Amino acid sequence: MNTADLGLPVDVPSTALFTDQYEFTMLQAAMKAGTAERRSVFEVFTRRLPEGRRYGVVAGTGRVLDAVENFRFDPDVLAFLRERKIVDEETLDWLADYRFSGDIWGYPEGEVYFPGSPIMRVEGTFAECVLLETVILSVLNHDSAIAAAASRMSSAAGERPLIEMGARRTHELAAVAASRAAYLGGFTSTSDLAAGFRYGIPTVGTSAHAFTLLHDRERDAFQAQVKSMGRGTTLLVDTYDVAEAVRTAVEVAGPELGAVRIDSGDLLLVAHRVRQQLDELGATDTRIIVTSDLDEYAIASLAAAPVDAYGVGTQLVTGSGHPTCSMVYKLVARAESTDPTAPLLPVAKKSTGGKTSIGGRKWAARRLDEYGVAEAEVVGTGPVPDALADRQLLVELVKGGDVVARESLDVVRDRHTAARANLPLSATQLSRGEPVIPTEYVNGRSGSLTGS
């Protein structure tokens, strides 16, 4: 079942107003100037990674493709634009028939990226491309930030599973997107049922402290839960006294008890004590799950603890301190006229303060060392050097307005695991540092290289 076709509450019928007003005012002005139909190339990139991060993670590409397909101006949307006098009638007539008919190339979802990487390239007329800026950036900036945090957390967790449980800490629709990005980045399940329904992510959940507090005794709560869900359930043991709760849990469920969850206290110390107690009570196969405001650093600190799984909420859905990736969408080339055969001219903003851009339609490739480990991100214009021809990163996503590269989330998840594994070992270090590999620029005219 393709849930994207069901019109679920987590979808919206049109993405056309997920944008900034100036996209429309630029469109109208360009139409009056006769430049709106000039062939143009826009690129998504970031000038720098969030402070201390070694690599970025491309996430949200699948949602971008959905957004482009749903970028339509129905009568209600057009009426809103008319009522607010956002654009004139000529522009409204043009918008009524809007369908993106251009091409989109990009890094495949799950791939890693670095400063200057042309993460996505959108080609078509200026008019049809400029309208997509805000919604593309909204999706990629959010999802890539969450996926990067998830990737760092999954590296810290090693083989131990991670549960995404941050729905209550963010907007209800952002929570669904965050769960998708977390799964891409290495999480194994989510507590958010909308995410499970929309994307097929495995869902989990048992009880909160309220369930224990509802009952007269903790034993009564445990008995009710085991009767309802079976001995393999997870019992929350930190409502009152942890040691007493663990004893009661094993008495109620027996050694077949699936797991206990600890949500407060010194998790390192408590986990060791609970493991010892469970083993002494004969519940040697009962797992220990820890929650409580975890991030990648807390997870790493528990590496030597007898913990079997982690539940992460707030720090995940806020990007662990970096809720955006600072990606931008810039015009890098445009035709000198509206003639479809007119050559593309490189264009770029000239600015101080770290906001400079490099003009020209770009390609990207990742150079490997003799051991097959990435050693540089090479970005260039013009012909691709023969040595990098089979290492190109951009793939075709949309051709002539039609999506040609929709993928399952499991494929994307596996791709990220492989991409991260091909980076130098220092990529997974949690200590602050520079990007794990440099970005080198190739000038298409001279072939010269410059580093970044």
Lowest-pLDDT range, 135-144, 155-164, 240-249, 342-351?
A: 342-351
Which pLDDT score is estimated for 6?
46
Give residue-wise pLDDT tens across range 306-338.
999 999 999 999 999 999 999 999 999 999 999
H or E segment and range at residue 389: none
pLDDT of 285 strictly over 60: yes
Q: What is the pLDDT of residues 330-378, one digit of tens each?
A: 999 999 999 999 999 999 988 766 677 899 999 999 999 999 999 999 9
What distance in Å separates the CA atoms of residue 191 and residue 203, rounded to the nearest whole number? Answer: 5
pLDDT averaged over every residue in the chain: 94
Backbone CA torsion sign across 107, 113, 114, 119? positive
* Residue 13 pLDDT level (bands cut at 50, 70, 90): low
Which of residues 442 and 145 earns the better pLDDT score? 145
**Which pLDDT score is estimated for 12?**
55
What is the arithmetic mean of pLDDT over 76-95? 97
> What pLDDT band is residue 444 in, cutting at 50, 70 and 90?
low
Give per-residue pLDDT as tens, 207-220: 999 999 999 999 99
Q: Is 248 helix (H, G, I), strand (E, B) or coil?
A: helix
pLDDT exceeds 90 at position 445: no
Looking at the chain, the domain(s) classified CATH 3.20.20.70 span 147-321
What is the rounded CA–CA span in Å between residue 69 and residue 55?
30
pLDDT at 450: 47
Among candidate residues 448, 366, 388, the one with its CA nearest the CA of residue 114: 366
- Contact status, residue 108 vs residue 395, Cβ threshold 8 Å: yes
- For domain 147-321, the CATH superfamily is Aldolase class I (3.20.20.70)
Residue 19 has pLDDT above 50, yes or no: yes
CATH of domain 3-131+326-451: 3.20.140.10
pLDDT of residue 5: 47
Which residues does residue 449 pair with via DSSP β-bridges, in sequence order? Answer: 442
Integer angstrom CA distances of residue 266 from 23, 304, 320, 404 = 51, 14, 21, 50
Higher-confidence residue of 356 and 438: namely 438
pLDDT at 452 over 90: no
Domain with CATH 3.20.140.10 in the chain: 3-131+326-451
Of the candidate ranges 3-17, 166-180, 269-283, 413-427, the one whose mean pLDDT is the lowest: 3-17
- 364, 118 in Cβ contact below 8 A? yes
Give me the mean pLDDT over the 87-104 stretch.
98
The predicted structure's pLDDT at residue 353: 66
Q: What pLDDT, on the 0 to 100 scale, is given for residue 9?
A: 46
Residue 236, beta-bridge partner list = 261
Q: What percent of the chain has pLDDT over 90?
A: 91
Query: Does residue 4 contact residue 11 with C-beta atoms inside 8 Å?
Result: yes
